[in-house]
Amino acid sequence: MFFVNTGADVRCCARMGGYVMLMDLTPLSVRAERERAEAAAELAAARHDAARIRHVAPAQDAAAGAAERAEGHRARDAILAGGRARIEAHCASAEAELRMAVSELASNLASRALDEHPARPAPDPA
């Protein structure tokens, strides 16, 4: 049996039937300290990532808000344009109907006026 010391690790190697058996004899406090250091490093990396996200998030939110606002403006403009087109078509239709009604009324009034007052013969210019 022999021991291998690599820094904080102490391992015991024993030859058993031609095979080398490796057993970890590192004290628990050393392993616990190493795991604590690894966990602290992971925590620091996570905090760094969280800080980066907190720093970048407002800009991303502003960009997303601007994009949504622009999309809303496009939708609003499309709705307004459609409404204006419908209003113009309705106005044109109403104007055509009104012209026809006024024309019919004028024709009826002229007809009535002619029926009530027959045409006089034109004076003879001689």
What confidence tens digit (pLDDT) does each residue in 38-85 have? 999 999 999 999 998 888 888 888 888 888 999 999 999 999 999 999
Q: How many domains does the chain have?
A: 1
Taking residues 1-8, what's their average pLDDT? 48
Instruction: Confirm whether 118 is domain-assigned.
Output: no
Confidence (pLDDT) at 106? 93
Confidence (pLDDT) at 64? 86
Instruction: Confirm whether 116 is domain-assigned.
Output: no
Instruction: Confirm whether 63 is domain-assigned.
Output: yes
Higher pLDDT, 18 or 107: 107
How does the average pLDDT of the chain come out, rounded?
80
Instruction: Confirm whether 115 is domain-assigned.
Output: no
Predicted confidence band of residue 12 (pLDDT cuts 50, 70, 90)? low
25 within 8 A of 11, measured Cβ to Cβ: yes
Tokens 């024993």 -> residue: 14
What confidence tens digit (pLDDT) does each residue in 91-104 have? 999 999 999 999 99
Domain of residue 35 covers: 2-102
Q: Is the pLDDT of residue 14 over 60?
A: no
| CA-closest candidate to residue 4, choices 27, 19, 22 | 22
Instruction: Confirm whether 110 is domain-assigned.
Output: no
Burial 1-19 (b: 16+ CB within 10 A, else e): eeeeeeeeeeeeeeeeeee
Instruction: Confirm whether 64 is domain-assigned.
Output: yes
Contacts of 27 (CB under 8 A, 6+ apart): 10
Q: State in Å, rounded, how far the first CA of the chain is from the last one.
A: 158
14 within 8 A of 29, measured Cβ to Cβ: no
Instruction: Confirm whether 117 is domain-assigned.
Output: no
Instruction: Confirm whether 122 is domain-assigned.
Output: no
Under DSSP, is residue 9 helix (H, G, I), strand (E, B) or coil?
strand
Predicted confidence band of residue 113 (pLDDT cuts 50, 70, 90)? confident
Taking residues 110-120, what's their average pLDDT? 77
23 within 8 A of 9, measured Cβ to Cβ: no
Give the number of other CB atoms < 10 A from CB of residue 34.
Answer: 13
How far apart CA 110 and CA 117 sit, in angstroms, is 11
